Amino acid sequence: MASGERDVSEVALKGASAPLAVSSSRAAVLKRLRLTDAIFHGLTRGASLAVLALLSGVIIALIIGAAPALGTFGFGFLFDESWNPVTERFGALAPIFGTLVTSFIAMLIAVPVGLMVAFFLTELCPKMLRRPIGIAIELLAGIPSIIYGIWGLFVFAPFLQQHVQPLFIDTFQNVPVLSILFAGPPYGIGMFTAGLILAIMVLPFVTSISRDVFDAVPPVLKEAAYGVGCTTWEVFRYVVLPFTRVGVIGGFMLGLGRALGETMAVTFVIGNAHHVSASLFAPGTTISASIANEFTEAVGDLYTSSLIALGLILFFITFIVLAIARYMLLRLQRQGK
């Protein structure tokens, strides 16, 4: 602050002294400059504080809205599977379960694929292909989520129902754990499908951040590794990944943040059923999908309040994930210096 002011006045002195060199006008110029600076300072601070106020306002509104539900159901709200608008008994277990499971499936697929694409783009890809593939991946991030939802419902889900799911069910029907995970009937839509759609949506996040951090690996490290006879896989596994570990995890977390909160695409393909099922092919629901589906027509205070409580829970989950992501990326920046 102090040093900033001094810089400004020195510049001002220079500019003002050249034509006039009158002390009173110099003071006026200085005063004016100070004033503009003070206004600018105030504006920036105001904007930043407004964001803070907005965020706390959202949290407070969520807590007030959720209070009736949390007061009625208590801590058990988190562990109750029932969601019964007729008897007004609500629990968040099924939406929380669905949110975590679909996000987990998405990350399970998007992370390895994203890493491979990023490594290919930075290390192996011919220059000619680098830009088209890179742009294609980034375009995936630009597709509105409702398009994913419609595509998922009209193209992807029927394909899964007729070709993929029966195959899984038949193949794994005698394998101990997998027979439970992939139990029929094949609905086409369900948690599995939602997870796959999310994987496609998360892929660009994982890829582009991984690509950026892979680019930051000093060439000398890789060249040395190749020099002592490492294979491409060994360079990736033992040089690039360890060096960029923290940044890559930060990218995962940003992707996970998107997967947790994604609403439209998921609600099209997840089946919107408040059930906790072991089978991934069964319909389920997520927190954001439940809110989007039911909020407008929720009758009664307890119903509405339970939906707001779901929102509060999602807020906390996303907050934790994003905080971890920020922390990881911060550590990377320090490491880079």
Partner 1 sequence: MHFAKIALTTAALALSPAAAYAIDISGAGATFPYPIYAKWADSYKKETGNGLNYQSIGSGGGIKQIKAKTVTFGATDAPLTGKDLEESGLVQFPMVMGSVTPVVNLEGVKPGELTLDGPTLAQIYLGQIKSWDDAAIAKLNPNLKLPKQAIVPVRRSDGSGTTYNFAYYLAEVSSDWKTKVGVSTALQWPVGIGAKGNEGVAGNVAQTKGSIGYVEYAYAKENKMIFTKMINKAGKAVAPGSDSVQSAAASADWNSVPGFGVILANQPGDQSWPMAAATWILMYKKPEKSAEAAEALKFFAWAYAKGGAMADSLDYVPMPQKVVTDIMKMWSADIKDASGKPLYSPTN
* Structural contact between residues 268 and 149, judged by C-beta atoms closer than 8 angstroms: yes
DSSP labels for 166-183? Answer: HHHHHHTTTSHHHHHHT-
* Structural contact between residues 136 and 208, judged by C-beta atoms closer than 8 angstroms: no
Query: x/- binding map, residues 273-312, to partner 1, per CB under 8 A?
Result: xx--------x-x------xxx-xxxx---x---------
Shortest Å distance, C-beta 317 to partner 1: 22
Q: Is 173 in the site for partner 1 (CB under 8 A)?
A: no
Nearer to partner 1, 24 or 87 (CB): 87
What is the spatial distance between Cα 25 and Cα 17, in angstroms, rounded to a whole number?
A: 9
Nearer to partner 1, 47 or 299 (CB): 299
Q: Rounded to 5 degrees, what are φ and ψ at 84? A: -120, 100
Nearer to partner 1, 182 or 303 (CB): 303
With tokens 């949506």, the residue in question is: 201
Shortest Å distance, C-beta 49 to partner 1: 29
Shortest Å distance, C-beta 288 to partner 1: 13
What is the spatial distance between Cα 273 and Cα 213, in angstroms, rounded to a whole number?
A: 40
Among residues 207, 267, 279, 318, which is the contact residue for partner 1, using CB under 8 A?
267
Q: Is 153 in the site for partner 1 (CB under 8 A)?
A: yes
Examine residue 185 and say whether the peptide bond preceding it is cis (omega within 30 degrees of 0): yes
Stretch that binds partner 1, among 8-16, 67-75, 156-164, 247-255 (CB under 8 A): 156-164
Q: Is 244 in the site for partner 1 (CB under 8 A)?
A: no
Among residues 98, 114, 134, 188, which is the contact residue for partner 1, using CB under 8 A?
188
Q: Rounded to 5 degrees, what are φ and ψ at 248? A: -65, -40
What is the spatial distance between Cα 59 and Cα 316, in angstroms, rounded to a whole number?
A: 10
Query: x/- binding map, residues 43-82, to partner 1, per CB under 8 A?
Result: ---------------------------------------x
* Structural contact between residues 90 and 84, judged by C-beta atoms closer than 8 angstroms: yes
* Structural contact between residues 235 and 197, judged by C-beta atoms closer than 8 angstroms: no
Q: Which residues bind partner 1 (CB under 8 A)?
A: 82-87, 153-154, 157-158, 161-162, 184-190, 267, 271-274, 283, 285, 292-294, 296-299, 303
